[in-house]
Amino acid sequence: MREYARLYIDGAWQVPSGQGMADVIDPASEQVIGRVPLGAEADVERAVMAARRAFEGWSRTPSSVRAGYIQALAAQLKKRAAEMADVITAELGMPVQWCQAVQVEGPIAGLAQYAELAGLMDQLREVGNSLVYREAVGVCAFINPWNYPLHQMIGKLAPALAAGCTVVVKPSQETPLHAFLLAEMIEAIGLPAGVFNLVSGPGAKVGEALARHPQVDMVSFTGSTGAGVRVAQAAAPTVKRVCLELDGKSPLLITADADLHAAVRHGVQDVMINSGQTCTALTRMLLPASRYAEALEIAEAEARALVMGDPRDPTSFLGPMCSAGQRHTVLDYIRLGQQEGARLLCGGEGPSGFERGFYVAPTLFADVDNRMRIAQEEIFGPVLCLIPYADEAQALALANDSPFGLSSAVWAGSREHGLALARQIRAGQCFINGGGFNYQAPFGGYKQSGNGREWGEEGLAEFVEVKAVQC
């Protein structure tokens, strides 16, 4: 049981102005495993003004000093990595076999690179009679999701610190404990007061107050497209910078000359990691009609072979959904898919043998029309749509027939074939033949999947203003 009664503001643990506490529920056991305070607008005001006071000094701190703090935080995370993974498994329900590597080790690697990238802020460019400088954008508000909580927080925090920005963070109410643990680490490294501030609470109150606050220069939000629109609307009157990472309905285009067995197995596993609660999940599998029947057999066999169970059991591939509400949403979509006429191959309900926990069995739909809602809307659960195509022209049309463009993948007979198709898909990233995630590369979406980028040099640029001085 982890219980935090205070918020981290201006370098100290402070009594919140808000009333009450929020319970944190273990989605596998449905038991309360923690409590955090419900912050109020007065807490947002204190945190933002602390960040504003700290900004001038922090932004003028030498980049080598900021890099030192980033390295120190990475060292703290490495030291307490097992503890952080345990916390995220408990509050999110992601199995331990994935949580350590994906939720903790990956973000540590992503954080560490910004110790070097901080030096980019010192670069001076001469253009004619102008000197071009990079400067920190200012006070930043981070509104974080529950599905990859530390990953997304570090994706915002690391470049902000490297650029010289100060921040106020609001974690999701479903998974806030990791953020308080991170605040303990930030306190331990002695980051100057006001550079990092943590205010927990509901998005409608704390998140909106951050987005509309006139002293916030930039807001970075990860979550649903609908919520992202509301954040942008709240931010618009003060013309602050807005970075949004939103919904996805990503295609996996498998070509006729691909290794079908490897491609289909990869596609099924990709969707089922984190029980489908991944914005980049390849939830539409586009298959050549000539090999469709064979692909369905491979996909069903793979889905039925995946082990669902207690997330603390290292043999579990899937754990529960994060919350009862998310489980309800996913089951509603599964019923909708059946009503729309898609053919249910497997899954479709909570698995047998689980008296507690928000579990949904791996679910496959065959004969899906891309115009169906289950193919157009983000379900955010372990649900995969298998869609046949006649030729590659139709496959590309189907891949791009989506309001979203966060991610995509191609599995082809050769790298060259895959690259040719990847360039024609309207998405912020594309994985060819199982290529891995790269923290040095930009991450972000096209269309209604958002704007702006995280990670790499492009991620740093989101926190930078560019000044031209003519002389």
Look up residue 350 and give its DSSP letter.
P
Tokens 């079908």, residue located: 260
Query: Hey, do 2-246 and 251-437 end up sharing a CATH topology, with the first three levels equal?
Result: no
> Residue 366 — very low, low, confident or very high, per pLDDT cuts 50/70/90?
very high
| Catalytic-labelled residue, pool 174, 208, 245, 392 | 245
Q: Is the pLDDT of residue 447 over 90?
A: yes
**pLDDT tens profile 145-158:** 999 999 999 999 99
279 is catalytic: yes
E strands present in 324-449 = 343-346, 363-366, 383-389, 404-405, 409-411, 431-432, 446-447
Tokens representing 134 are 């990079």
Calculate what percentage of the chain has a pLDDT beyond 90: 97
**394 phi and psi angles, rounded to 5 deg:** -70, -35
154: nearest Cα among 461, 462, 455: 455
Q: Is the pLDDT of residue 208 over 90?
A: yes
CA distance 158 to 187: 16
CA distance 19 to 110: 36
232: part of which helix (H) or strand (E)?
helix 225-235
Predicted local confidence at residue 468, as pLDDT: 98
| Catalytic-labelled residue, pool 99, 243, 279, 322 | 279
**pLDDT tens profile 386-432:** 999 999 999 999 999 999 999 999 999 999 999 999 999 999 999 99
CATH 1.10.357.10 fits 2-246, yes or no: no
Q: What is the mean pLDDT of residues 327-349?
A: 96
Q: Is the pLDDT of residue 350 over 90?
A: no
Domain assignments of the chain as residue spans, ordered by start: 2-246, 251-437
Q: What amino acid is encoded at 355 in this protein?
A: E
Which is the CATH superfamily of the domain at 251-437? Aldehyde Dehydrogenase; Chain A, domain 2 (3.40.309.10)
245 is catalytic: yes
